[in-house]
Chain A
Amino acid sequence: MTEKATQNFIETYERTQARLPGADSWLSRRRETAVKAFAEAGLPHRRLEEWKYTDLRQVLEKAAFAPAPAHEGAVILPDSRSAAAFAAIDRYTVVFVNGRYRADLSHTSRLPKGVELHPLVDVVHEQWARDLVERRLDDGRQAENVVDLNTALMNDGACLRIRKGVKLDKPLHLLFFTADAGASHTRNLILIENEAEATIFETHVGAEAGFANIVTDVSLAEGARLGHLKLQDEATGAVHLATMRTRLEASAHFTSFTLTLGCGVSRGQNFVLFAGEGAEAHVNGAYALRGTQHSDQFCVIDHAVPGCTSHTLFKGVLDDSSEGVFQGKVIVRPHAQKTDGRQMTQALLLSRNAAMNAKPELEIYADDVQCAHGSTVGELSRDAIFYLRSRGIPELQARQLLISAFLDEALDLVPHEMARNALKSLTDDWFAEARA
């Protein structure tokens, strides 16, 4: 028997498939296959090892999201610090409301030559988009269950292609805003060609309880560079599921940072595949949770070829009854010699009821490698607090200092200086709010 939430998604597909982008192309066949696979597997649940700590089936069963309505007309962005976090930075902006592209709210004029930016519907007929969606170049399959759901129902997304050698002069800011409750399925496609460069910001905000299922497929050609920064601060009733799959050709460079502050339940999945030698990936993140928030960071780095470097650091602060999860895996395939893979996760528990689950894995099939992982969980050092207090710093301030210092270690890795400062002030505010 298929459970209700899965059934709802399948029904949505049947009802809307004719109106989804690419209904007359290869994509409709792809959607058909995906929905079948999804119907068979259902929503992931805790009996699957990868979903051991986050039971998506149960969460969505309880919340029962209807599809998000298309939002026409004026939109007032929430007056929150997160929504305005990057306001001071000179950037291109693309706005999505309820998972749909809004040209009227976006500012993308004067993009440099060789930079193509379109909503999903405009690129489905292009070969590069098809290659990315079908992931023809990858042997491995990752997170197929939720990606299938996305493939079946995706109706919009930002598609960016940067031609050979072109550098995007300003960061591209993708702003996702939930104006009405409901489920949305977004697919972003990013292709950075040889020696090209880009920096992308992603902000997810909204006061409504939505379910955002976002899949971002990234392909970095030889020597390409991508800096990716994501800020997620949605309403506590919201469920956020983001999957990012990145493929790196030789000498490509990828830096990603995710700051998670919002959502009742969020899960960020990061898959990195090294397909060419000498590539480098930095997958980092920080999270600060309170109330009954639950956040799951899932990260798989696949060293399929020799001589690549990957570094992962996730740091989190957990207050009240919140729950943090980190699941990471570094795979070193046979013959992927000279791999350097490092993975670290640290969590700070601020409250008696907070909980942390960590599972950093190594899977290694080659011998000439340097691989290490570490994990620590604990509370604020009493000695450190005492030290500060003995020098006249009030306890609250001492705690804040220590927490900021803890998170800063991760935030220092944000790939854009101004954005780094913006995120740092956000986390400082987070703590101030907690005590207000």
Chain B
Amino acid sequence: MAAVRETVETVGEVEKYKYGFFTDIESEKAPLGLTEDTVRFISAKKNEPEWLLEWRLAAFRRWLTMTEPTWAKVTYPPIDFQDAYYYSAPKQMAKLDSLDQVDPKLLETYAKLGIPLTEQKMLAGVAVDAVFDSVSVVTTFKEKLAEVGVIFCPMSEAVQKHPELVKKYLGSVVPTSDNFYATLNSAVFSEGSFVYIPEGVRCPMELSTYFRINEKQTGQFERTLIIADKGSYVSYLEGCTAPQRDENQLHAAVVELVTHDDAEIKYSTVQNWFPGDEEGKGGVYNFVTKRGDCRGVNSKISWTQVETGSAITWKYPSCILRGDNSRGEFYSIAISNGHQQVDSGTKMIHLGRNTTSRIISKGIAAGHSSNTYRGLVSVHRKAENVRNFTQCDSLLIGDRCSAHTVPYIETKNPTAVLEHEATTSKISDDQLFYCMQRGIGEEEAVALIVNGFCRDVLQQLPMEFAVEAQKLVGISLEGSVG
């Protein structure tokens, strides 16, 4: 990974000089802890305009008055927010000469996922030779996007190049006062993606952070903003199916989506961060605020997520269905194994007329893990003819894990039709017996059955992801049977 970044950085150098900022970031690090100075430091590093600094400071002051949320069904030792660095130059990973030096466990996983060799090297941080021409990849897709007027760049670049857009939309879906972690993110966010799809444009390719290799190490406070203008469409992929070697413990990202009239955003996530070891030590805390705002009529936002990593997940991708006839969708697979704790779900807030939403959530708990679905469907007084369907199924593997369902259903309009159903069960012995009797190993059989259980969600994933995600489902459950 490091090598690739270098290549990209070399190319990036040209741009950096052109804009005169980003000088000498490698050697600098904000002092330990979080104070107003840290916020000023980050803002100055990014050469941000005055209004953004003020915005960050307001968020920071607000954050000081807030307390950590405790309502989620997760337990973890208290986080010392003063014992962390909030800005540091991207970490340089130890360079390895060949794949032989990589942890064989990691290689095994890559092989199972079917990741090409070059990619494997990249992910594991092995020096990749010049054949893997990431530069050309980057430039070709940039050209293609520019042709149709799509803006796809790092957040810090957007602040410089498109301040009017950023100013207009940043924080308009997730306000700085939203919740503890979102407020913290507003104060100290360092990087993220910015996407703007102009009116009537159907984005010619699926945008992915995966392509934006130069932004690989976006740090723990990512801020993503995607705007789909009238009649446009974009599919955005976030994350990576391969396990990432990530050093950050706390991830508090914010994702904001805005759709105008007739626009559609499809946002897919595959998250496979370090879940901690067998004893439940370590692992990433994934405290993310994701929200989409269907502002225009006939607009649509669809969230698809495959959550298999992280020690603790606290994540509720939501839709505010403001525009008439707008539609929100949420498809989720949450797999927890070992000592993982997942508290995830969605909020569908129906404000406009004829708005519809669909929630399909599949939770799979194994080992000692705990898996919670927490969702809200709310219909406001003026939202006529709302339709919602919610289905959340849980599968338990083993008798030491737990699965919880906490749905909230609030209606203030009689024309709304809301349906909610949830089931909890285990893998049936009959199914397992059937598979094994035909010579399929137990672990493989479980993976097969679980994949069938998740089918409704896996089908929603873009092709590139779907295949790997299916394999990922099997891998995540390894060691859960027998």
A residues whose Cβ falls under 8 Å from a Cβ of B: 49, 334-335, 337, 347, 349-379
What 10 A-B pairs are tightest by C-beta distance, nearest first?
A349-B414, A367-B396, A362-B405, A358-B409, A375-B420, A367-B426, A379-B414, A365-B402, A371-B424, A378-B417
- Which residue of the partner chain B has the closest CB to A325? B410
Docked Cα-Cα span, A100 to B408, in Å, equals 39
- Which residue of the partner chain A has the closest CB to B422? A373
- Which residue of the partner chain A has the closest CB to B398? A367
- Which residue of the partner chain A has the closest CB to B423? A372
When A356-B409, A362-B405, A363-B404 are in contact, do A374 and B422 touch as well, CB less than 8 Å? Answer: yes
Q: Which residues of B contact A354 (CB under 8 A)?
A: 414
Asked whether, in the complex, the Cβ of B411 is within 8 Å of the Cβ of A374, the reply is: no
Distance between A77 CB and nearest chain B CB, rounded to angstroms: 36
- Contact of B411 (CB < 8 Å), options: A334, A355, A361, A370: A355
- Contact of A361 (CB < 8 Å), options: B401, B404, B415, B421: B404
Distance between B244 CB and nearest chain A CB, rounded to angstroms: 30
Docked Cα-Cα span, A337 to B401, in Å, equals 13
Docked Cα-Cα span, A282 to B135, in Å, equals 67
Distance between A221 CB and nearest chain B CB, rounded to angstroms: 29
Docked Cα-Cα span, A352 to B379, in Å, equals 12
Docked Cα-Cα span, A357 to B265, in Å, equals 30
Docked Cα-Cα span, A348 to B416, in Å, equals 10
Distance between A404 CB and nearest chain B CB, rounded to angstroms: 18
Please name 17 further chain A to chain B contacts, defined as beta carbons within 8 Å, in addition to the given A364-B396, A377-B416, A378-B416, sorted by A numbering: A49-B71, A357-B408, A358-B407, A359-B409, A360-B422, A363-B402, A364-B394, A364-B403, A367-B401, A367-B426, A370-B424, A370-B425, A371-B423, A372-B421, A375-B407, A376-B418, A378-B414
Asked whether, in the complex, the Cβ of B405 is within 8 Å of the Cβ of A375, the reply is: no
Q: Which residues of B contact A360 (CB under 8 A)?
A: 405, 407, 420, 422
Docked Cα-Cα span, A377 to B387, in Å, equals 10
Distance between A220 CB and nearest chain B CB, rounded to angstroms: 26
Q: Which residues of B contact A352 (CB under 8 A)?
A: 413-414
Asked whether, in the complex, the Cβ of B410 is within 8 Å of the Cβ of A357, the reply is: yes
- Which residue of the partner chain B has the closest CB to A349? B414
10 intermolecular pairs with C-beta atoms under 8 Å apart: A49-B71, A354-B414, A360-B420, A361-B404, A365-B402, A366-B396, A369-B425, A375-B419, A376-B420, A377-B417
Asked whether, in the complex, the Cβ of B418 is within 8 Å of the Cβ of A378, the reply is: yes
Asked whether, in the complex, the Cβ of B399 is within 8 Å of the Cβ of A368, the reply is: yes
Docked Cα-Cα span, A353 to B412, in Å, equals 7
Asked whether, in the complex, the Cβ of B402 is within 8 Å of the Cβ of A337, the reply is: no
When A351-B414, A375-B418, A375-B420 are in contact, do A364 and B409 touch as well, CB less than 8 Å? Answer: no
Q: Which residues of A contact B426 (CB under 8 A)?
A: 367-369
Asked whether, in the complex, the Cβ of A362 is within 8 Å of the Cβ of B403, the reply is: yes
- Asked if B117 is an interface residue, CB under 8 A from chain A, the answer is no
Docked Cα-Cα span, A379 to B414, in Å, equals 5
Q: Which residues of A contact B401 (CB under 8 A)?
A: 365, 367
- Asked if B138 is an interface residue, CB under 8 A from chain A, the answer is no
- Which residue of the partner chain B has the closest CB to A375? B420
- Which has the most chain B C-beta neighbours within 10 Å: A350, A354, A372? A372
Q: Which residues of A contact B421 (CB under 8 A)?
A: 372-375
Asked whether, in the complex, the Cβ of B399 is within 8 Å of the Cβ of A337, the reply is: yes
Docked Cα-Cα span, A357 to B423, in Å, equals 20
Distance between B72 CB and nearest chain A CB, rounded to angstroms: 12
- Asked if B359 is an interface residue, CB under 8 A from chain A, the answer is no
Docked Cα-Cα span, A69 to B395, in Å, equals 56
Q: How many interface contacts (CB-CB < 8 Å) are there between A and B? A: 113
- Which has the most chain A C-beta neighbours within 10 Å: B408, B409, B426? B409
Distance between A414 CB and nearest chain B CB, rounded to angstroms: 26
- Which residue of the partner chain A has the closest CB to B370? A365
Q: Which residues of A contact B11 (CB under 8 A)?
A: none
Distance between B409 CB and nearest chain A CB, rounded to angstroms: 4
When A349-B411, A355-B410 are in contact, do A364 and B420 touch as well, CB less than 8 Å? Answer: no
- Which residue of the partner chain B has the closest CB to A362? B405
Docked Cα-Cα span, A368 to B406, in Å, equals 20
Q: Which residues of A contact B419 (CB under 8 A)?
A: 374-376
Distance between B415 CB and nearest chain A CB, rounded to angstroms: 6
Distance between B387 CB and nearest chain A CB, rounded to angstroms: 10
Q: Which residues of B contact A377 (CB under 8 A)?
A: 409, 411, 416-418
**B413-451 CB contact bits vs A (8 Å, 1 = yes)?**
111111111111110000000000000000000000000
Q: Which residues of B contact A366 (CB under 8 A)?
A: 396, 399
Docked Cα-Cα span, A209 to B24, in Å, equals 75
Docked Cα-Cα span, A362 to B370, in Å, equals 13
- Which has the most chain B C-beta neighbours within 10 Å: A356, A362, A367, A376? A367
- Asked if B167 is an interface residue, CB under 8 A from chain A, the answer is no
- Which residue of the partner chain B has the closest CB to A373? B422
Docked Cα-Cα span, A74 to B409, in Å, equals 47
Docked Cα-Cα span, A385 to B99, in Å, equals 71
Docked Cα-Cα span, A359 to B408, in Å, equals 5
- Which has the most chain A C-beta neighbours within 10 Å: B405, B414, B417, B420? B414
- Contact of A357 (CB < 8 Å), options: B399, B409, B416: B409
- Contact of B420 (CB < 8 Å), options: A357, A369, A370, A374: A374
- Asked if B162 is an interface residue, CB under 8 A from chain A, the answer is no
Distance between B225 CB and nearest chain A CB, rounded to angstroms: 32
- Which residue of the partner chain A has the closest CB to B406? A361
- Asked if B159 is an interface residue, CB under 8 A from chain A, the answer is no
Distance between A172 CB and nearest chain B CB, rounded to angstroms: 37
- Asked if B16 is an interface residue, CB under 8 A from chain A, the answer is no
Distance between A52 CB and nearest chain B CB, rounded to angstroms: 8
Q: Which residues of B contact A359 (CB under 8 A)?
A: 406-409
Distance between A189 CB and nearest chain B CB, rounded to angstroms: 33
Distance between A93 CB and nearest chain B CB, rounded to angstroms: 40
Q: Which residues of B contact A358 (CB under 8 A)?
A: 407-410, 420
Q: Which residues of B contact A347 (CB under 8 A)?
A: 411
Docked Cα-Cα span, A357 to B407, in Å, equals 10
Distance between A302 CB and nearest chain B CB, rounded to angstroms: 14
- Asked if B400 is an interface residue, CB under 8 A from chain A, the answer is yes
- Which residue of the partner chain A has the closest CB to B405? A362
Distance between A392 CB and nearest chain B CB, rounded to angstroms: 26
When A352-B413, A364-B394 are in contact, do A373 and B425 touch as well, CB less than 8 Å? Answer: no
Asked whether, in the complex, the Cβ of A335 is within 8 Å of the Cβ of B399, the reply is: yes
- Which residue of the partner chain A has the closest CB to B414? A349
Distance between B298 CB and nearest chain A CB, rounded to angstroms: 24
Interface residues of B in 115-149 (CB under 8 A from A): none
- Asked if B253 is an interface residue, CB under 8 A from chain A, the answer is no
Distance between B332 CB and nearest chain A CB, rounded to angstroms: 16
Q: Which residues of B contact A375 (CB under 8 A)?
A: 407, 409, 418-421
Q: Which residues of B contact A369 (CB under 8 A)?
A: 396, 424-426
- Which has the most chain B C-beta neighbours within 10 Å: A351, A359, A365, A377? A377
- Asked if B397 is an interface residue, CB under 8 A from chain A, the answer is yes
Docked Cα-Cα span, A355 to B401, in Å, equals 36
Distance between B94 CB and nearest chain A CB, rounded to angstroms: 42
Q: Which residues of A contact B412 (CB under 8 A)?
A: 355
Q: Which residues of B contact A374 (CB under 8 A)?
A: 419-422
- Contact of B405 (CB < 8 Å), options: A353, A361, A379: A361
Docked Cα-Cα span, A371 to B394, in Å, equals 10
- Which residue of the partner chain A has the closest CB to B427? A367
- Which residue of the partner chain B has the closest CB to A350? B414
Q: Which residues of B contact A337 (CB under 8 A)?
A: 399
Asked whether, in the complex, the Cβ of A334 is within 8 Å of the Cβ of B405, the reply is: no
Distance between B364 CB and nearest chain A CB, rounded to angstroms: 11
Q: Which residues of A contact B424 (CB under 8 A)?
A: 362, 364, 369-372
Q: Which residues of A contact B396 (CB under 8 A)?
A: 364, 366-367, 369
